[in-house]
Amino acid sequence: MAAGHHDDPMSHVLDHSTLEVPGFGTEIPLPNIFGFQLTRFMVMELLAAGLLCLIMVPLARHVARNKVTKGPLLNAFEAVVLFIRDRVARPAIGGHGADDYLPFLLTLFFFILFCNLLGMIPGGASATGDINVTATLALITFGVVLFTGIRAMGPIGFWVGLVPKIDLPRPYLVVLWPLMFVIEVLGLFIRHMVLSVRLFANMMAGHMVLAVILGFIAQAAGLITFLVTPASILGVTALSLLELLVAFLQAYIFTFLAALFIGSAQHGH
């Protein structure tokens, strides 16, 4: 990558075909496999998926073997799992059937969280700052919602159930029901579209702000550098702590809304 790209704040939030080596200012080109270019975001997604397997599989086996979880790391992750089950899945979906969706919700939460956190590591990148990634996550959620609704109410009952029951004379229903059906179907699509845009916008905006503040150092010259550099570093440190909170918060919001959509599809109006 050209050196000028490092001065551009957008270069820190966009996908690249290279991996940055922090502290050395060099970048490693990623391979092109059978005409398919591997990118930085793809590597981060693979790392997030690998972390998910390395942490959650041993945790599940440990919990299955032991009634009491020991160790600070295992206790921390078990606390998060119980939080997603008791504060997200069961209240949003309702009943013991919520546990059937717990593996999906946990995978969603930790994958998004790991993607967010990898973007805070020097040389890393936040794949959730790409609309293609968040749109894919929303599309998968949409598929689960459709599957849930159709399994609970049947293929016809699910779509008919989108329209709330209203007590009106038949002539009014003939006119209003098709209009309400179109609005509800559009609302179903728009909800999941907003789900992807919300995560993408929050993650990209946060990294953009950090990149711009650090960019002040590169643009400063002379004595101004000694004033700008400490202020920029303090600002980035404070915002990084806020970004850490946002990383957890956005993973929680996406997971909670996914559970809410699943619950509404399962029970209908």
Q: What is the pLDDT of residues 234-259, one digit of tens each?
A: 766 777 777 888 889 999 999 999 99
The reported pTM is: 0.85
Give me the pLDDT at residue 3, please: 42
Structure-token pair, residue 109: 């939460």
Between CA 268 and CA 3 the distance in angstroms is 55
Query: CA-based angle 120:116:4, to the nearest 5?
Result: 50
Please give the pLDDT value at position 1: 39
Residues 6+ apart with CB under 8 A from 104: 144
> Pairing mode, if any, of strands 36-37 and 26-29?
unpaired
Sign of CA dihedral 11, 14, 16, 18: positive
Whole-number mean pLDDT of the chain?
A: 83
Determine contact, residues 107/84, Cβ cutoff 8 Å. Answer: no
Structure letter (DSSP) for residue 30:
P
81-95, 134-148, 155-169: least confident range: 155-169
**Spatial distance between the Cα atoms of 71 and 258, rounded to a whole number of angstroms:** 31
Which residue from 10, 6, 47 is spatially nearest to 27, judged by alpha carbons? 6
Residues contacting residue 52 through CB under 8 Å, at least 6 positions apart: 107, 110, 111, 114
pLDDT score, position 222? 53
Q: Which segments of the chain does DSSP mark as H helices, in order?
A: 40-65, 72-83, 90-93, 102-118, 131-153, 155-160, 170-219, 224-267
**What is the pLDDT confidence band of residue 124, given thresholds at 50, 70 and 90?**
confident
State pLDDT tens for residues 64-118: 887 777 778 888 888 999 999 999 999 999 876 888 999 999 999 999 999 999 8
Provide the pLDDT for residue 186.
95
Q: Assess contact for 197 and 131: CB atoms under 8 A.
A: yes
pLDDT band at 218 (very low <50, low <70, confident <90, very high): low
Q: Is residue 2's pLDDT more than 50?
A: no
Say what the pLDDT of residue 114 is.
94
Q: Are 217 and 167 in contact (CB under 8 A)?
A: no
Task: Report the distance separating Cα 203 and Cα 195, nearest Å.
Answer: 13
Does 225 have pLDDT greater than 70?
no
